Chain A
Protein backbone atom coordinates (compact mmCIF):
# COMPACT_ATOMS: atom_id res chain seq x y z
CA UNK A 1 0.00 0.00 0.00
CA UNK A 2 1.41 3.34 -0.98
CA UNK A 3 -0.16 5.96 1.31
CA UNK A 4 0.71 5.87 5.00
CA UNK A 5 -1.98 4.59 7.40
CA UNK A 6 -5.03 6.82 7.56
CA UNK A 7 -8.68 6.73 8.46
CA UNK A 8 -11.37 7.56 5.93
CA UNK A 9 -14.53 9.28 7.14
CA UNK A 10 -17.54 9.38 4.83
CA UNK A 11 -19.99 11.98 6.12
CA UNK A 12 -23.41 12.25 4.49
CA UNK A 13 -24.23 15.85 5.37
CA UNK A 14 -22.44 19.18 5.22
CA UNK A 15 -22.95 19.61 8.98
CA UNK A 16 -21.23 16.28 9.74
CA UNK A 17 -18.43 17.23 7.35
CA UNK A 18 -17.85 20.50 9.17
CA UNK A 19 -17.83 18.70 12.56
CA UNK A 20 -15.24 16.23 11.27
CA UNK A 21 -13.12 18.99 9.78
CA UNK A 22 -13.13 20.86 13.08
CA UNK A 23 -12.29 17.70 15.02
CA UNK A 24 -9.37 16.87 12.70
CA UNK A 25 -8.15 20.35 11.89
CA UNK A 26 -4.55 19.45 12.71
CA UNK A 27 -4.30 16.03 11.05
CA UNK A 28 -7.17 15.81 8.58
CA UNK A 29 -7.72 16.64 4.95
CA UNK A 30 -10.73 16.83 2.65
CA UNK A 31 -10.70 14.38 -0.23
CA UNK A 32 -13.05 14.98 -3.16
CA UNK A 33 -12.10 13.35 -6.49
CA UNK A 34 -8.63 12.59 -5.15
CA UNK A 35 -7.03 13.32 -8.52
CA UNK A 36 -4.53 15.72 -6.98
CA UNK A 37 -4.50 14.43 -3.43
CA UNK A 38 -4.06 10.68 -4.01
CA UNK A 39 -0.86 11.10 -6.09
CA UNK A 40 0.47 13.23 -3.21
CA UNK A 41 -0.49 10.50 -0.71
CA UNK A 42 0.85 7.70 -2.93
CA UNK A 43 4.21 9.47 -3.07
CA UNK A 44 3.94 10.22 0.67
CA UNK A 45 4.49 13.91 0.12
CA UNK A 46 1.75 14.28 2.73
CA UNK A 47 0.52 11.87 5.40
CA UNK A 48 -2.71 13.12 6.96
CA UNK A 49 -4.09 10.75 9.61
CA UNK A 50 -7.69 11.42 8.60
CA UNK A 51 -9.35 11.88 5.25
CA UNK A 52 -12.79 13.41 5.12
CA UNK A 53 -14.24 11.94 1.93
CA UNK A 54 -16.96 14.35 0.80
CA UNK A 55 -18.12 12.34 -2.22
CA UNK A 56 -21.16 10.95 -0.39
CA UNK A 57 -22.27 14.30 1.06
CA UNK A 58 -25.74 15.33 -0.03
CA UNK A 59 -26.43 18.73 -1.53
CA UNK A 60 -22.98 19.43 -2.98
CA UNK A 61 -23.64 18.28 -6.53
CA UNK A 62 -25.65 21.24 -7.80
CA UNK A 63 -24.86 22.76 -11.19
CA UNK A 64 -26.88 25.70 -12.45
CA UNK A 65 -26.32 28.23 -15.20
CA UNK A 66 -28.19 31.49 -15.65
CA UNK A 67 -27.56 34.70 -17.57
CA UNK A 68 -25.82 35.97 -14.46
CA UNK A 69 -23.62 33.10 -13.33
CA UNK A 70 -22.70 29.45 -13.37
CA UNK A 71 -22.79 27.84 -9.94
CA UNK A 72 -20.78 24.67 -9.47
CA UNK A 73 -21.15 22.51 -6.33
CA UNK A 74 -18.13 20.92 -4.70
CA UNK A 75 -18.91 17.49 -6.14
CA UNK A 76 -19.41 18.49 -9.78
CA UNK A 77 -16.74 16.73 -11.83
CA UNK A 78 -14.68 18.55 -14.43
CA UNK A 79 -16.35 16.30 -17.00
CA UNK A 80 -19.89 17.11 -15.98
CA UNK A 81 -19.21 20.83 -16.11
CA UNK A 82 -17.39 20.48 -19.44
CA UNK A 83 -20.44 18.85 -20.99
CA UNK A 84 -23.16 20.93 -19.41
CA UNK A 85 -25.05 22.71 -22.19
CA UNK A 86 -26.29 25.48 -19.88
CA UNK A 87 -22.80 26.29 -18.67
CA UNK A 88 -21.46 26.18 -22.23
CA UNK A 89 -24.08 28.66 -23.25
CA UNK A 90 -23.57 31.00 -20.30
CA UNK A 91 -19.80 31.14 -20.54
CA UNK A 92 -18.04 28.91 -23.08
CA UNK A 93 -14.60 29.66 -21.67
CA UNK A 94 -15.19 27.12 -18.89
CA UNK A 95 -15.70 24.23 -21.28
CA UNK A 96 -12.84 25.34 -23.50
CA UNK A 97 -10.44 25.35 -20.57
CA UNK A 98 -11.78 22.09 -19.16
CA UNK A 99 -10.93 20.34 -22.41
CA UNK A 100 -7.30 20.96 -21.48
CA UNK A 101 -7.55 19.61 -17.92
CA UNK A 102 -5.84 16.20 -17.93
CA UNK A 103 -7.50 13.25 -19.68
CA UNK A 104 -11.19 12.30 -19.70
CA UNK A 105 -10.58 9.56 -17.10
CA UNK A 106 -9.13 12.14 -14.71
CA UNK A 107 -11.88 14.65 -15.50
CA UNK A 108 -14.51 11.99 -14.78
CA UNK A 109 -13.41 11.86 -11.17
CA UNK A 110 -11.67 15.19 -10.45
CA UNK A 111 -13.83 18.09 -9.33
CA UNK A 112 -13.56 21.69 -10.49
CA UNK A 113 -13.89 22.96 -6.93
CA UNK A 114 -11.15 20.54 -5.77
CA UNK A 115 -8.91 21.90 -8.49
CA UNK A 116 -9.58 25.45 -7.30
CA UNK A 117 -8.86 24.42 -3.68
CA UNK A 118 -5.63 22.79 -4.85
CA UNK A 119 -4.55 26.17 -6.32
CA UNK A 120 -1.99 24.81 -8.75
CA UNK A 121 -0.66 27.64 -10.95
CA UNK A 122 -0.47 25.02 -13.72
CA UNK A 123 -4.18 24.29 -13.32
CA UNK A 124 -6.69 25.74 -15.73
CA UNK A 125 -9.69 26.24 -13.45
CA UNK A 126 -8.10 28.38 -10.72
CA UNK A 127 -7.21 30.79 -13.51
CA UNK A 128 -10.69 30.65 -15.02
CA UNK A 129 -12.17 31.55 -11.63
CA UNK A 130 -9.92 34.62 -11.52
CA UNK A 131 -10.43 35.56 -15.18
CA UNK A 132 -14.22 35.47 -14.97
CA UNK A 133 -14.26 37.30 -11.63
CA UNK A 134 -15.73 34.28 -9.87
CA UNK A 135 -16.07 33.49 -6.19
CA UNK A 136 -16.05 30.52 -3.84
CA UNK A 137 -18.47 30.00 -0.98
CA UNK A 138 -16.74 28.65 2.09
CA UNK A 139 -18.31 27.09 5.19
CA UNK A 140 -17.07 26.06 8.59
CA UNK A 141 -18.76 25.52 11.96
CA UNK A 142 -18.24 29.18 12.69
CA UNK A 143 -19.93 30.57 9.59
CA UNK A 144 -19.97 31.19 5.88
CA UNK A 145 -17.77 33.49 3.81
CA UNK A 146 -17.41 34.27 0.14
CA UNK A 147 -13.97 34.79 -1.38
CA UNK A 148 -12.81 36.20 -4.69
CA UNK A 149 -9.98 34.41 -6.48
CA UNK A 150 -7.65 37.11 -5.25
CA UNK A 151 -8.68 36.56 -1.66
CA UNK A 152 -8.45 32.78 -2.02
CA UNK A 153 -5.10 32.44 -3.75
CA UNK A 154 -2.05 33.13 -1.63
CA UNK A 155 0.72 31.44 -3.59
CA UNK A 156 1.46 28.34 -5.65
CA UNK A 157 -0.57 25.48 -4.08
CA UNK A 158 -1.46 27.80 -1.20
CA UNK A 159 -4.84 29.31 -0.33
CA UNK A 160 -6.29 31.35 2.51
CA UNK A 161 -8.61 28.45 3.47
CA UNK A 162 -8.47 27.34 7.10
CA UNK A 163 -8.12 23.57 7.71
CA UNK A 164 -11.66 23.39 9.05
CA UNK A 165 -13.20 25.12 6.04
CA UNK A 166 -15.07 23.50 3.16
CA UNK A 167 -15.72 25.14 -0.20
CA UNK A 168 -19.34 24.30 -0.92
CA UNK A 169 -19.51 25.89 -4.36
CA UNK A 170 -17.76 28.08 -6.88
CA UNK A 171 -19.55 30.59 -9.08
CA UNK A 172 -18.38 31.99 -12.39
CA UNK A 173 -20.06 35.07 -13.90
CA UNK A 174 -21.68 34.49 -17.30
CA UNK A 175 -20.57 36.40 -20.37
CA UNK A 176 -22.53 39.58 -20.97
CA UNK A 177 -23.89 40.66 -24.36
CA UNK A 178 -21.04 41.97 -26.48
CA UNK A 179 -18.44 39.83 -24.73
CA UNK A 180 -16.54 36.88 -26.09
CA UNK A 181 -14.15 34.62 -24.26
CA UNK A 182 -11.76 31.85 -25.17
CA UNK A 183 -8.91 29.71 -23.95
CA UNK A 184 -5.86 28.20 -25.62
CA UNK A 185 -2.91 26.22 -24.36
CA UNK A 186 0.09 24.30 -25.58
CA UNK A 187 1.12 21.11 -23.80
CA UNK A 188 3.81 18.62 -24.73
CA UNK A 189 1.28 15.81 -24.93
CA UNK A 190 -2.51 15.86 -24.99
CA UNK A 191 -3.73 16.07 -21.38
CA UNK A 192 -0.42 17.17 -19.89
CA UNK A 193 -0.20 20.32 -17.84
CA UNK A 194 0.34 23.20 -20.26
CA UNK A 195 3.74 24.73 -20.99
CA UNK A 196 1.72 27.92 -21.22
CA UNK A 197 -1.97 28.73 -21.45
CA UNK A 198 -4.01 31.89 -21.96
CA UNK A 199 -7.63 32.82 -21.33
CA UNK A 200 -9.16 36.03 -22.69
CA UNK A 201 -12.41 37.89 -22.16
CA UNK A 202 -12.97 40.54 -24.80
CA UNK A 203 -15.69 43.18 -24.50
CA UNK A 204 -17.16 45.07 -27.44
CA UNK A 205 -19.73 47.80 -27.91
CA UNK A 206 -21.96 45.59 -30.04
CA UNK A 207 -24.36 43.61 -27.86
CA UNK A 208 -25.20 41.49 -30.88
CA UNK A 209 -21.56 40.59 -31.52
CA UNK A 210 -21.66 37.54 -29.31
CA UNK A 211 -24.85 36.55 -27.69
CA UNK A 212 -24.39 34.23 -24.78
CA UNK A 213 -26.36 31.50 -26.50
CA UNK A 214 -23.93 30.93 -29.34
CA UNK A 215 -22.26 27.90 -27.84
CA UNK A 216 -22.66 25.59 -30.83
CA UNK A 217 -20.48 27.92 -32.82
CA UNK A 218 -17.53 27.57 -30.55
CA UNK A 219 -17.32 23.93 -31.46
CA UNK A 220 -18.72 24.01 -34.97
CA UNK A 221 -16.17 24.32 -37.75
CA UNK A 222 -17.42 27.19 -39.81
CA UNK A 223 -15.52 28.59 -42.73
CA UNK A 224 -14.64 32.22 -41.97
CA UNK A 225 -14.90 32.93 -45.72
CA UNK A 226 -18.64 32.33 -45.51
CA UNK A 227 -18.98 35.12 -42.98
CA UNK A 228 -21.82 37.49 -43.54
CA UNK A 229 -21.93 41.11 -42.56
CA UNK A 230 -24.03 40.55 -39.44
CA UNK A 231 -22.27 41.57 -36.29
CA UNK A 232 -19.05 42.69 -37.93
CA UNK A 233 -19.33 46.29 -36.88
CA UNK A 234 -18.05 46.01 -33.39
CA UNK A 235 -15.44 48.00 -31.55
CA UNK A 236 -13.37 46.46 -28.81
CA UNK A 237 -13.87 48.17 -25.48
CA UNK A 238 -11.91 45.96 -23.13
CA UNK A 239 -9.72 42.89 -22.71
CA UNK A 240 -8.81 40.77 -19.70
CA UNK A 241 -6.20 38.00 -19.77
CA UNK A 242 -5.34 35.18 -17.38
CA UNK A 243 -2.58 32.59 -17.57
CA UNK A 244 -1.71 28.98 -16.90
CA UNK A 245 1.80 27.83 -15.93
CA UNK A 246 3.48 31.23 -16.40
CA UNK A 247 2.46 33.11 -13.25
CA UNK A 248 2.72 32.06 -9.56
CA UNK A 249 -0.92 32.64 -8.81
CA UNK A 250 -3.81 33.22 -11.22
CA UNK A 251 -3.05 36.91 -11.81
CA UNK A 252 -5.22 38.77 -14.28
CA UNK A 253 -4.14 41.67 -16.46
CA UNK A 254 -6.59 44.27 -17.78
CA UNK A 255 -5.58 45.55 -21.19
CA UNK A 256 -8.39 48.02 -21.83
CA UNK A 257 -6.03 50.89 -22.59
CA UNK A 258 -4.17 48.80 -25.20
CA UNK A 259 -7.26 47.64 -27.07
CA UNK A 260 -10.06 50.16 -26.50
CA UNK A 261 -11.40 51.81 -29.63
CA UNK A 262 -10.08 49.19 -32.06
CA UNK A 263 -12.69 47.85 -34.51
CA UNK A 264 -12.68 44.03 -34.48
CA UNK A 265 -11.75 43.89 -38.15
CA UNK A 266 -8.62 45.91 -37.37
CA UNK A 267 -7.50 43.58 -34.58
CA UNK A 268 -4.22 42.91 -36.43
CA UNK A 269 -3.07 46.40 -35.50
CA UNK A 270 -3.10 45.66 -31.76
CA UNK A 271 -2.00 42.02 -31.60
CA UNK A 272 1.67 42.90 -31.11
CA UNK A 273 0.94 45.45 -28.40
CA UNK A 274 -1.27 42.98 -26.54
CA UNK A 275 1.33 40.23 -26.80
CA UNK A 276 4.09 42.47 -25.58
CA UNK A 277 2.07 43.81 -22.61
CA UNK A 278 1.35 40.21 -21.65
CA UNK A 279 4.98 39.15 -22.01
CA UNK A 280 6.01 41.97 -19.66
CA UNK A 281 3.36 40.98 -17.14
CA UNK A 282 3.97 37.24 -16.78
CA UNK A 283 6.78 35.64 -14.84
CA UNK A 284 7.47 32.17 -16.24
CA UNK A 285 10.07 29.81 -14.82
CA UNK A 286 12.20 27.53 -16.93
CA UNK A 287 12.46 23.80 -16.38
CA UNK A 288 13.67 20.77 -18.33
CA UNK A 289 10.68 21.00 -20.65
CA UNK A 290 10.88 24.63 -21.67
CA UNK A 291 12.98 27.67 -20.86
CA UNK A 292 11.43 30.77 -19.32
CA UNK A 293 12.07 32.64 -22.59
CA UNK A 294 10.28 30.04 -24.64
CA UNK A 295 7.26 30.06 -22.31
CA UNK A 296 7.16 33.85 -22.48
CA UNK A 297 7.30 33.80 -26.27
CA UNK A 298 4.68 31.06 -26.43
CA UNK A 299 2.29 32.96 -24.17
CA UNK A 300 2.50 35.98 -26.48
CA UNK A 301 1.82 33.85 -29.55
CA UNK A 302 -1.14 32.07 -27.94
CA UNK A 303 -2.64 35.36 -26.77
CA UNK A 304 -2.31 36.90 -30.24
CA UNK A 305 -3.95 33.93 -31.95
CA UNK A 306 -6.75 33.83 -29.43
CA UNK A 307 -7.44 37.54 -29.78
CA UNK A 308 -7.70 37.16 -33.55
CA UNK A 309 -10.03 34.22 -33.17
CA UNK A 310 -12.31 36.16 -30.81
CA UNK A 311 -12.43 39.06 -33.27
CA UNK A 312 -13.68 37.08 -36.23
CA UNK A 313 -17.06 38.15 -37.55
CA UNK A 314 -20.18 36.10 -37.25
CA UNK A 315 -20.87 33.87 -40.21
CA UNK A 316 -23.79 33.87 -42.58
CA UNK A 317 -25.90 31.87 -40.12
CA UNK A 318 -25.58 34.74 -37.73
CA UNK A 319 -23.36 32.82 -35.36
CA UNK A 320 -19.91 33.71 -34.22
CA UNK A 321 -17.02 31.94 -35.88
CA UNK A 322 -14.81 30.97 -33.04
CA UNK A 323 -13.43 27.55 -33.84
CA UNK A 324 -10.15 26.48 -35.27
CA UNK A 325 -7.92 28.52 -33.05
CA UNK A 326 -5.21 29.01 -35.65
Chain B
Protein backbone atom coordinates (compact mmCIF):
# COMPACT_ATOMS: atom_id res chain seq x y z
CA UNK B 1 0.00 0.00 0.00
CA UNK B 2 1.28 3.48 -0.79
CA UNK B 3 1.66 5.77 2.24
CA UNK B 4 -1.41 7.84 3.04
CA UNK B 5 -1.28 11.31 4.49
CA UNK B 6 -2.74 11.78 7.99
CA UNK B 7 -5.70 13.59 6.45
CA UNK B 8 -6.37 10.76 4.01
CA UNK B 9 -6.12 8.22 6.81
CA UNK B 10 -8.59 10.22 8.90
CA UNK B 11 -11.04 10.35 5.99
CA UNK B 12 -10.78 6.62 5.36
CA UNK B 13 -14.17 5.03 6.06
CA UNK B 14 -13.91 2.47 8.89
CA UNK B 15 -16.46 0.35 10.64
CA UNK B 16 -16.78 -1.87 13.66
CA UNK B 17 -17.49 -5.35 12.41
CA UNK B 18 -18.31 -8.65 14.06
CA UNK B 19 -16.64 -11.68 12.58
CA UNK B 20 -16.99 -15.28 13.56
CA UNK B 21 -13.83 -17.18 12.68
CA UNK B 22 -13.12 -20.80 13.60
CA UNK B 23 -15.90 -20.71 16.15
CA UNK B 24 -14.68 -17.54 17.92
CA UNK B 25 -16.40 -14.15 17.75
CA UNK B 26 -14.31 -11.05 17.16
CA UNK B 27 -15.24 -7.38 17.23
CA UNK B 28 -12.86 -5.39 15.07
CA UNK B 29 -12.45 -1.85 13.90
CA UNK B 30 -11.23 -2.01 10.29
CA UNK B 31 -11.24 0.11 7.14
CA UNK B 32 -14.29 -0.75 5.02
CA UNK B 33 -12.08 -1.59 2.07
CA UNK B 34 -10.17 -4.26 3.98
CA UNK B 35 -10.50 -7.69 2.42
CA UNK B 36 -11.25 -10.74 4.54
CA UNK B 37 -7.84 -12.21 3.60
CA UNK B 38 -6.04 -9.17 5.04
CA UNK B 39 -8.17 -9.04 8.19
CA UNK B 40 -7.50 -12.74 8.83
CA UNK B 41 -3.77 -12.33 8.39
CA UNK B 42 -3.15 -8.89 9.86
CA UNK B 43 -5.84 -8.32 12.47
CA UNK B 44 -6.45 -11.88 13.62
CA UNK B 45 -2.89 -13.11 12.92
CA UNK B 46 -4.24 -16.22 11.26
CA UNK B 47 -1.40 -16.31 8.76
CA UNK B 48 -2.24 -19.78 7.50
CA UNK B 49 -4.42 -18.13 4.86
CA UNK B 50 -1.99 -17.15 2.10
CA UNK B 51 -2.43 -14.52 -0.57
CA UNK B 52 -0.99 -15.01 -4.02
CA UNK B 53 -2.78 -13.36 -6.91
CA UNK B 54 -5.47 -11.40 -5.03
CA UNK B 55 -7.89 -11.66 -7.90
CA UNK B 56 -9.41 -15.05 -7.44
CA UNK B 57 -7.23 -17.15 -9.71
CA UNK B 58 -4.70 -19.02 -7.55
CA UNK B 59 -6.85 -20.35 -4.71
CA UNK B 60 -4.17 -19.86 -2.01
CA UNK B 61 -6.51 -17.67 0.05
CA UNK B 62 -9.44 -20.12 0.02
CA UNK B 63 -11.38 -20.32 3.29
CA UNK B 64 -14.80 -21.75 4.07
CA UNK B 65 -17.83 -19.51 4.50
CA UNK B 66 -20.57 -21.49 6.22
CA UNK B 67 -18.72 -24.61 5.09
CA UNK B 68 -18.39 -23.66 1.43
CA UNK B 69 -14.97 -22.80 -0.05
CA UNK B 70 -14.66 -19.18 -1.19
CA UNK B 71 -11.80 -16.81 -2.03
CA UNK B 72 -11.01 -14.61 0.98
CA UNK B 73 -9.27 -12.13 -1.36
CA UNK B 74 -12.59 -11.47 -3.14
CA UNK B 75 -14.78 -10.60 -0.16
CA UNK B 76 -14.64 -7.59 2.12
CA UNK B 77 -14.38 -8.49 5.80
CA UNK B 78 -17.53 -6.42 6.36
CA UNK B 79 -19.45 -8.68 3.99
CA UNK B 80 -18.37 -11.81 5.89
CA UNK B 81 -20.31 -10.71 8.98
CA UNK B 82 -23.13 -13.01 9.99
CA UNK B 83 -21.36 -15.94 8.35
CA UNK B 84 -19.06 -18.53 9.92
CA UNK B 85 -15.53 -18.35 8.53
CA UNK B 86 -13.26 -21.39 8.75
CA UNK B 87 -9.57 -21.05 7.94
CA UNK B 88 -6.94 -23.76 7.72
CA UNK B 89 -6.25 -23.19 11.44
CA UNK B 90 -9.89 -24.07 12.11
CA UNK B 91 -9.48 -27.36 10.28
CA UNK B 92 -6.35 -28.36 12.16
CA UNK B 93 -3.91 -26.32 14.24
CA UNK B 94 -1.90 -28.94 16.08
CA UNK B 95 1.22 -30.40 14.44
CA UNK B 96 1.02 -33.35 16.83
CA UNK B 97 -2.55 -34.04 15.89
CA UNK B 98 -3.20 -33.08 12.28
CA UNK B 99 -6.69 -33.15 10.81
CA UNK B 100 -7.45 -35.97 8.36
CA UNK B 101 -6.90 -33.74 5.31
CA UNK B 102 -3.56 -32.61 6.69
CA UNK B 103 -2.57 -36.21 7.47
CA UNK B 104 -3.55 -37.11 3.90
CA UNK B 105 -1.11 -34.51 2.55
CA UNK B 106 1.65 -35.96 4.74
CA UNK B 107 0.83 -39.53 3.68
CA UNK B 108 0.70 -38.62 -0.02
CA UNK B 109 3.69 -36.23 -0.07
CA UNK B 110 1.21 -33.61 -1.24
CA UNK B 111 3.31 -30.55 -0.43
CA UNK B 112 6.76 -29.07 -0.82
CA UNK B 113 6.99 -25.34 0.01
CA UNK B 114 3.46 -25.32 1.43
CA UNK B 115 2.44 -21.95 0.03
CA UNK B 116 -0.59 -23.32 -1.79
CA UNK B 117 -1.45 -25.96 0.82
CA UNK B 118 -3.91 -24.07 3.07
CA UNK B 119 -6.08 -23.31 0.04
CA UNK B 120 -6.05 -26.96 -0.95
CA UNK B 121 -6.85 -28.10 2.62
CA UNK B 122 -9.93 -25.87 2.92
CA UNK B 123 -11.09 -26.84 -0.58
CA UNK B 124 -10.58 -30.58 -0.15
CA UNK B 125 -12.09 -30.67 3.34
CA UNK B 126 -15.38 -29.31 1.98
CA UNK B 127 -15.23 -31.37 -1.20
CA UNK B 128 -14.81 -34.72 0.54
CA UNK B 129 -17.69 -33.89 2.88
CA UNK B 130 -19.79 -33.47 -0.19
CA UNK B 131 -18.39 -36.36 -2.19
CA UNK B 132 -17.06 -39.08 0.12
CA UNK B 133 -16.17 -41.37 -2.80
CA UNK B 134 -14.39 -39.23 -5.38
CA UNK B 135 -12.99 -40.80 -8.53
CA UNK B 136 -9.57 -39.63 -9.64
CA UNK B 137 -11.24 -37.45 -12.25
CA UNK B 138 -13.57 -35.90 -9.70
CA UNK B 139 -10.62 -35.31 -7.37
CA UNK B 140 -8.74 -33.57 -10.16
CA UNK B 141 -11.74 -31.41 -11.03
CA UNK B 142 -12.24 -30.50 -7.37
CA UNK B 143 -8.76 -28.99 -7.08
CA UNK B 144 -8.71 -27.42 -10.53
CA UNK B 145 -9.24 -23.96 -9.03
CA UNK B 146 -6.07 -24.15 -6.93
CA UNK B 147 -2.58 -23.61 -8.29
CA UNK B 148 0.53 -25.34 -6.97
CA UNK B 149 3.86 -24.30 -8.46
CA UNK B 150 6.16 -26.88 -6.94
CA UNK B 151 4.67 -30.18 -5.83
CA UNK B 152 2.79 -30.91 -9.01
CA UNK B 153 -0.73 -32.22 -8.88
CA UNK B 154 -0.34 -36.02 -8.89
CA UNK B 155 0.26 -36.25 -5.17
CA UNK B 156 -2.37 -33.66 -4.37
CA UNK B 157 -4.94 -35.73 -6.27
CA UNK B 158 -3.79 -38.69 -4.16
CA UNK B 159 -4.26 -36.56 -1.05
CA UNK B 160 -7.89 -35.95 -2.00
CA UNK B 161 -8.50 -39.67 -2.30
CA UNK B 162 -6.49 -40.37 0.85
CA UNK B 163 -8.69 -37.92 2.74
CA UNK B 164 -11.75 -39.82 1.55
CA UNK B 165 -10.12 -43.03 2.70
CA UNK B 166 -9.30 -41.61 6.14
CA UNK B 167 -12.92 -40.51 6.46
CA UNK B 168 -14.12 -44.03 5.82
CA UNK B 169 -14.88 -43.68 2.14
CA UNK B 170 -13.02 -45.99 -0.22
CA UNK B 171 -10.83 -43.29 -1.74
CA UNK B 172 -11.98 -44.16 -5.20
CA UNK B 173 -15.15 -44.15 -7.20
CA UNK B 174 -16.45 -47.40 -5.73
CA UNK B 175 -19.69 -48.63 -7.19
CA UNK B 176 -21.34 -49.53 -3.89
CA UNK B 177 -21.34 -45.90 -2.89
CA UNK B 178 -23.00 -46.46 0.44
CA UNK B 179 -21.00 -49.51 1.43
CA UNK B 180 -17.39 -48.37 1.30
CA UNK B 181 -14.65 -50.92 1.65
CA UNK B 182 -11.53 -49.38 3.04
CA UNK B 183 -8.48 -50.65 1.21
CA UNK B 184 -4.90 -50.76 2.59
Contacts and interface: CB of A to CB of B under 8 A. Distances in A.
Are A and B co-members of a single complex? yes
Nearest to A41: B33
Given A1-B38, A55-B79, A105-B71, A39 B145 contact: no
Per CB-CB distance, the 8 closest pairs between chain A and chain B, nearest first, are: A103-B145, A7-B13, A39-B55, A190-B144, A105-B69, A38-B74, A108-B68, A8-B32
B180 interface: no
A190 B142 CA distance: 10
B32 A6 contact: yes
Contacts of A42: 35, 54-55, 73
A2 B54 contact: yes
A185 B32 CA distance: 38
Contact of B76 (A53, A105, A106): A53
Nearest to B130: A104
Nearest to B15: A8
A143 interface: no
A137 interface: no
A7 B145 contact: no
B182 to A, nearest CB: 26
A202 B123 CA distance: 37
Nearest to A3: B33
A10 interface: yes
A289 interface: no
A42 B142 CA distance: 26
B144 A1 contact: no
Interface in B31-61: 31-35, 38, 54-56, 59
Nearest to A79: B68
Given A105-B62, A105-B69, A105-B145, A5 B74 contact: no
B75 A7 contact: no
A7 B1 CA distance: 18
15 contacts: A1-B35, A5-B11, A5-B12, A5-B33, A31-B76, A31-B79, A42-B55, A43-B55, A104-B69, A104-B142, A104-B145, A106-B145, A108-B70, A109-B74, A109-B75
A109 B142 CA distance: 16
Contacts of A102: 56, 145
Q: How large is the interface on B (under 10, 10 to 19, 20 to 34, 35 or more residues)?
A: 35 or more
Interface string A43-58: 1000000010101100
A2 B35 contact: yes
Contact of B79 (A8, A43, A189): A8
Interface of B: 1, 8, 11-13, 15, 31-35, 38, 54-56, 59, 62, 65, 68-71, 73-76, 78-79, 81-82, 123, 127, 141-142, 144-145
A35 interface: yes
Nearest to A109: B70
Contact of A106 (B32, B56, B142): B56
A191 B141 CA distance: 9
A267 B17 CA distance: 60
A34 B12 contact: no
A219 to B, nearest CB: 13
Nearest to B141: A190
A108 B72 CA distance: 12
Interface in A237-290: none
Given A190-B144, A191-B145, A34 B32 contact: no
Contacts of A35: 56, 71, 74
Contacts of A190: 141, 144
A4 interface: yes
Nearest to A7: B13
- The interface centre, meaning the residue of B33, B38, B145 with most chain A CB atoms within 10 A of its CB, is B33
A5 B75 contact: no
Nearest to A108: B68
Nearest to A39: B55
B83 to A, nearest CB: 9
